[in-house]
Structures are given as structure tokens and as C-alpha cells.
Amino acid sequence: MALRPVTRRSVADQVFDQLLNDVVDGELPAGEPLPSERRLAEVLGISRPVVREALQRIAQTGLVEVRHGGATLVRDLHRAAGLDLLPRLLVRDGRLDAAIGRSVIEVRAEVGPGIAALATERGGPGLAADLDAVTDEMATTTDSVRWQELALDYWDLLVDAADSLVFRLMVNCLRAAYEPALPALATVLAEEVGQLEPYRLLTAAVRAGDAPTARAAAARVLAPTADTLLGAFAAMGDER
């Protein structure tokens, strides 16, 4: 029997998720006011303090504007939201959103080579040795989930070496979105396990201080995952 951790979710969490889904799906259009706290409490059968907590949390995402003494207005997702919302958008109600997943992979494919080039220029002599240590561990695993975890660790080393706070924050958000879906995605990516050559080539470019080659090698590292997942997300979209 496969046991899984039990997730206890507060009532405020559930209200937050309902409101978030309605805003993202267009059930609550931009510019429209949310129902009042009193009305939400009545409809949902909960207390006003719980509704207020959920509203405060969704306001922190930038998706609504709370006006003191007035209405709470829905804001345009595409103009107001930040990357911190990405993990909640990728997996909603236990389902992976194929369109958001596609966007994550597209950004990863575009940003990764730039990170690798900067890391090569700024990382110093110890970076290649650290990368070697991760790829050596990758060589010992046949587990697809563990392989993906180590791949993320490999990229964490490159992001740190790139010494760019904006890249770091961006990757943090992408990783936070990707990791909850990793067990399901790792099954799709099982054929990548053991494919060390692209990582070795990238590490060699880092060791040589060759940023252009590192950029090209990083694109080669990312391409198989991108191709496989984009195909899977396209199939999910067709099914829907």
C-alpha cells in the first residue's frame, strides 16, 4: 500500500483557492467587484473573519485591489500578478494546467543558456568540480524522480554561480512550480535517466571558461526535457 502525507487545509485556504480559480478562469472578470465579505460568508457558510483572511491573501497576489470602505475589485491577471503566483497556477485542484506547464518549459529553455553562460564567466574554478559531483551521483541512479532532483541541483549550482539575484528569484519560482508535479513528470521523462553526455559537455565548457560553448551546451541539456514535456502538454490540451 502506497501511503501519502495527509494535507490539512484550512477553510481560508479553500476559500482562497475558490476565489483564485474564479479570477484565473474569468468567472470573476477584471474590473468587476467581488461580493462583499458579508455575502461571501453567507454563500459559503463561514465566518466573516475567515473570508477576510482569504481576501487579504488574494490581495497579496495582486489579483484584487481592496479599497477601504469600498468594493474589492478584480485586477487583470496579465497585468497585476507576479511569478510568485506560478506554483498555484501550474497545479490547481490537483490538476496540472497544460498551458502553464508549456510556458514554464518555454521560459526554462530560453533562460537556462543565459544562466549557464554567466555562470561560466563568474563561477570560478570550483564550479566545475561541484558540477562533476552532481553528475557523478546522477550516474549512480536509475530512479527517474531522483534523476530530476539531481538535475535541479545541477542547475541550482549554475544559478548561484551566475550571481544574478533576478535569475535566482525567477528560478526559485519556476522550481517551486515544477517540484510538486515532479513525480508525475518524472514518469514522462524516464528515458532521460542515464543521459549524462550533455551534462558532461556543459561542465567541460564551464571548466574551460568558454561561455559561448556553455550556452550551446546548456541548450542541448534542456532540449530533450523541453521536447518531451511540450509534447505531453500538447496531448493534455488536445484531450481537454
How many whole angstroms separate alpha carbon 196 and alpha carbon 47? 55
The C-alpha cell at 26 is: 474569468
Helix (H, G, I), strand (E, B) or coil at 74: strand
Cα angle value 204/207/209 (rounded, 5°):
110
User: Cα–chain-centroid distance for residue 57?
Assistant: 20
Does the pLDDT at position 3 exceed 50? no
Just give the CATH number of 11-81: 1.10.10.10
How many whole angstroms separate alpha carbon 9 and alpha carbon 1? 24
Phi and psi dihedrals of 110, rounded to 5? -85, -40
Single-letter amino acid code for the residue at 229: L
Does the pLDDT at position 5 exceed 60? no
Percent of the chain with pLDDT over 90: 31
- The Cβ of residue 110 has, within 10 Å, a number of other Cβ atoms equal to 12
Model pTM? 0.78
Residues carrying CATH 1.10.10.10, the chain: 11-81
The C-alpha cell at 211 is: 561561455
Best CATH choice for the domain 89-239 from the list 1.20.120.530, 1.10.287.110, 2.60.40.10, 1.10.3720.10: 1.20.120.530
Using 50, 70 and 90 to split pLDDT, how confident is the model at 101?
confident
Residues carrying CATH 1.20.120.530, the chain: 89-239
Closest CA to 135 of 155, 118, 115: 155
* Strands, E assignment, 33-177: 64-66, 72-74, 91-92, 95-96
- The Cβ of residue 108 has, within 10 Å, a number of other Cβ atoms equal to 20
How many whole angstroms separate alpha carbon 21 and alpha carbon 125? 47
How many whole angstroms separate alpha carbon 171 and alpha carbon 167? 6
Does the pLDDT at position 17 exceed 80? yes
Helix (H, G, I), strand (E, B) or coil at 64: strand
* Strands, E assignment, the chain: 64-66, 72-74, 91-92, 95-96
Does the pLDDT at position 13 exceed 70? yes
Lowest mean pLDDT among 76-80, 94-98, 146-150, 233-237: 233-237
* Distances from the Cα of 209 to the Cα of 36, 46, 129, 137, 196, angstroms: 59, 60, 13, 23, 20
For the chain, the straight-line distance linking the first and the last C-alpha, in angstroms and rounded, comes to: 31
